[in-house]
């Protein structure tokens, strides 16, 4: 090897290391991708709810979706539960989660009741613009958005 060869190899190594450091910093600074994928179903039920949502300008992306939840109490006891999202819809490039009103468990329009019943859905899918609460008895859609100050 000649004198110039060592210098060229060192320059190449320095450029390579700088590139690796730059890529690592860029990777660390990019936001994480969404944790949950929106399930796209080929079969969306054709019912009154879908007609109401489409009539209001929403595109229905998916039907009823089950979200399994596992909880560990202490270090040994394990409990299982689940949440259900009735529909995923989109309007103007914004995603909304849909919950249907139920006769046996009506939603009182108070801050604490709305928080307790609907906030978990908004937290599971933070990329959603809000939760749509659909009351088929009154044929109404209520858009609920949460603004959390930390």
CB-based contact 98:87 (threshold 8 Å)? yes
Range scoring the smallest mean pLDDT among 11-15, 38-42, 96-100? 38-42
Q: Residue 117: pLDDT above 80?
A: yes
DSSP state of 67: E
CA distance 142 to 49: 13
pLDDT of residue 72: 92
- CA nearest to 117, candidates 125, 126, 127, 107: 107
Count CA atoms within 13 Å of residue 10 on its CB side: 5
The tens digit of pLDDT for each residue in 17-59 reads 999 999 999 888 876 655 556 776 556 778 888 899 899 999 8
Chain-wide mean pLDDT for the chain? 86
Q: Using alpha carbons only, how large is the chain's radius of gyration in Å?
A: 24
CA distance 67 to 80: 11
- Mean pLDDT in residue range 97-104: 90
Q: Residue 14: pLDDT above 90?
A: yes
* Fold classification of 48-144 (topology level): Trna Endonuclease; Chain: A, domain 1 (3.40.1350)
The tens digit of pLDDT for each residue in 121-150 reads 888 888 889 999 999 888 899 999 999 887
Instruction: Tell how strand 94-100 and strand 130-135 pair up.
Output: parallel
Sequence spans of domains, the chain: 1-30, 48-144
**Structure-model confidence comparison of residues 2 and 100, the more confident one:** 100
Q: Residue 14: which H helix or E strand, with range?
A: helix 3-29
């Amino acid at each position: 090897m000649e004198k110039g060869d060592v210098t060229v190899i060192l320059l190449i190594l320095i450029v390579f290391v700088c590139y690796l450091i730059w890529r690592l910093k860029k990777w660390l600074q990019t936001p994480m991708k969404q944790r949950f994928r929106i399930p796209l179903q080929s079969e969306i039920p054709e019912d009154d709810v879908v007609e109401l949502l489409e009539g209001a300008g929403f595109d229905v992306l998916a039907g009823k979706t089950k979200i399994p939840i596992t909880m560990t109490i202490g270090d040994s006891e394990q409990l299982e539960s689940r949440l259900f999202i009735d529909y995923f819809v989109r309007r103007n490039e914004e995603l909304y989660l849909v919950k249907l009103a139920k006769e046996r468990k009506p939603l009182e329009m108070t801050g604490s009741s709305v928080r307790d019943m609907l906030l978990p859905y908004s937290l599971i899918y933070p990329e959603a613009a809000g939760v749509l609460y659909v009351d088929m008895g009154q044929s109404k859609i209520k858009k609920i958005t949460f603004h959390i100050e930390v």
